Copies of this chain bind each other. A is one copy, B any other.
Amino acid sequence: MLPKLTFVLGGAASGKSAFAENLIVQTGAPRVYIATAEVYDSEMEAKVQRHKTMRGPNWRSIEAPRDLGPAFTSVSKDEIALLDCATMWLTNHMMGEADIEAQTSDLLHQLATCEGRVVVVSNEVGMGIVPDNAMARRFRDLQGRLNQRLADQSELAVFVVAGQPLVLKGTLP
């Protein structure tokens, strides 16, 4: 069984989403997919389709690129929700010039008060060379701090590398 909050972190194309989906499917609980991606080009469209195929059937699906409140409120205590992913959610809010600190506090509160269990997927983006432009540096800092707070609030945190889990916190079921 999964705890109240599970955090799954990984690099690009690391298999983090598949790992998170598999964690949920193995519980046998009814599952909810909260999609944060906004499809604005064909590259993103292809990625969304590939993930949808990988995920398979039997997911109740909600599109929530920015405001996650209604999505989390709809998750019942028997369900497990997958938020895929915190990085896209953060990107959408940065594009919309939102107050990131306020949005992050809201998200952490929504996760704490959600009746069902939640698995949050996020990207590690801070292990390359310092980016040239200030916006990328700001994104990298905000993402890093968000990841720290999600890991801190979770009971189980996993770093996925080449599809394999390194447990950061807690115990895999």
Contact = CB atoms under 8 A, between A and B. Distances in A.
Interface of A: 7, 9-15, 43, 124-131, 134, 136-137, 139-145, 147-148, 150-152, 157, 159, 161-164, 166, 168-169
A76 to B, nearest CB: 29
B159 A12 contact: no
Given A11-B127, A12-B141, A136-B129, A166 B163 contact: no
A162 B163 contact: no
Stoichiometry, copies per complex: 3
A132 to B, nearest CB: 9
Nearest to A145: B13
Contacts of A150: 162
A142 B141 CA distance: 23
Given A12-B140, A145-B13, A124 B157 contact: no
Nearest to A7: B162
A141 to B, nearest CB: 5
Given A11-B127, A14-B148, 11 more contacts: A9-B161, A11-B126, A12-B130, A12-B144, A13-B143, A13-B147, A13-B148, A43-B134, A126-B127, A157-B162, A162-B168
